[in-house]
Amino acid sequence: MKDRTKYFAYPYVVWIFLFIALPAFLVLLYSSTTKESNGLTTIHFTLENYKKFFQPIYLNILWDSIYLAAVSTVICLILGYPAALIISNTHVSKRNTLLFLCILPMWMNMLLRTYAWMTILGNNGILNNFFAFIGLPTFNMLYTRGATVMGMVYNFIPFMILPIYTALSKMDKGLLEAADDLGADKKTVFTKVILPLSMPGVISGIIMVFMPAVSTFIIPQLLGGNKSMMIGNLVEKLFILNGDWNFGSAISMVMMIIILLSMSIMNKFDIDKEGGARLW
């Protein structure tokens, strides 16, 4: 009778099949067939779509996306790590409030938040008005690459803070006391104990920021003014405007492979030590 419980997992199996395996298979199918394939009788396999991607023009878009996403991820890490450290070191009563504040913006629609940034960064926006008020020169901020990076950092930084915080808060505080007892100064405690133990969180954070950042299309559109095309914009254009689902699927497949590869490389560095907390 006990075995019966496993049947409860079947809806999940169906779910995976319908919404993960089947779409992934369709993307693979589209990416490796020609535009003229309309059914089983006319299906024609080809590698043209992949070949097309390895042209300088598309590779440039790819490198540019990776570059912008990497810059955003690094900034998220630089800002997010201390934030997570501070949250994990505050008293429990305040900690939840801080975490809550961290998550609060995510309750609002992402589009709305991004539109809000447009009024902050604009030429006659809040920031420039403030600069003019205190006598500083004004800057062109909206519709620049900097604005795109800023939008990504703003939108994705909670995904960096939360896993690092989880790793830090699960750390055994006795280890810190032991390090202190053995004569390590604050810097050594951080580099030899805290940092290595929080690495799983850092890696989860990097992955969770980098993945949405590299494939975003709405932020470069709204804050970057479509001037630096990212790979997400290209895929969106191919699907929605050009109707070239085959090429769009091929790019998606390439992206999937790149992300899987980088995740497996990241995991190599990620030696799961005791006390570390992994999110996945």
Partner 1 sequence: MKRKLILIISILSLVLILATGCSTEEKQTLNVLNYDIYIDRSLLTEFEKANNVTIKYDTYSTPEEMYIKVKSGASKYDLIISSEYMIERMINENLVNKLNFDNIPNYKYISEDFKNHIYDPSNEYSVPYFWGTLGILYNKNTVDASSDSWAMLWDEAHAQKIIMMDSQRDSFAAALKLLGYSLNTVDEKELDEAKELLIQQRPLVMAYITDGSPAIMINEEADMALVWSGEAVSAMAENEDLDFVIPKEGSNIWIDAMIIPSTTDKQELAEKLINFLCSTEATLRNIDEVWYSTVHTEAIELLDEELLSNPAFNIPQSDLDKMEMFRDPKEFIDLYTERWTELMAN
Instruction: Pick from 225, 259, 266, 275 the residue near partner 1 by CB under 8 A.
Output: 225
Residue number, 21 or 104, with CB nearest to partner 1: 21
**The binder of partner 1 chosen from 71, 85, 176, 229 (CB under 8 A):** 229
State the Cα–Cα distance between residues 236 and 242, nearest whole angstrom: 9
In the range 56-75, which residues lie near partner 1 by CB under 8 A?
A: 57-58, 60-61
> Which of 129, 227, 257, 261 lies at the binding interface for partner 1 (CB under 8 A)?
227
Three-state DSSP at 33 gives strand
Q: Would you count residue 149 as binding partner 1 (CB under 8 A)? A: no
Nearer to partner 1, 105 or 243 (CB): 243
Q: Compute the distance between CA of residue 141 and CA of residue 152 in angstroms, rounded to an integer.
A: 15
Is the Cβ–Cβ distance between 162 and 170 less than 8 Å?
no
Q: Specify the stretch interacting with partner 1 by CB under 8 A; choose among 160-168, 192-200, 241-249, 257-265.
A: 241-249
Residues 77 and 206: beta-carbon distance below 8 Å:
yes
Contact predicate 277/201, CB 8 Å: yes
Binds partner 1 (CB under 8 A): choice among 16, 18, 78, 111: 18
- For partner 1, the closer CB: 61 or 162: 61
SS (H, E, C) 53-96: HCCHHHHHHHHHHHHHHHHHHHHHHHHHHHHHHHHHHCCHHHHH
Whether 140 and 123 have beta carbons less than 8 Å apart is answered as: yes
Task: Confirm if 166 and 201 have CB atoms less than 8 A apart.
Answer: yes
Q: How far is the CB of 151 from partner 1 (least distance, A)?
A: 14
Sole binder of partner 1 in the list 241, 264, 268, 269 (CB under 8 A): 241
Looking at residues 86 to 145 of the shown chain, list those that interact with partner 1 (rule: CB under 8 A).
122-125, 140, 142-143
- Residues whose CB falls within 8 Å of the CB of residue 194, separated by 6 or more in sequence, listed in order: 85, 168, 171, 176
Q: Which residues bind partner 1 (CB under 8 A)?
A: 7, 10-11, 13-14, 17-18, 57-58, 60-61, 122-125, 140, 142-143, 221, 225-227, 229, 233-234, 237, 239-243
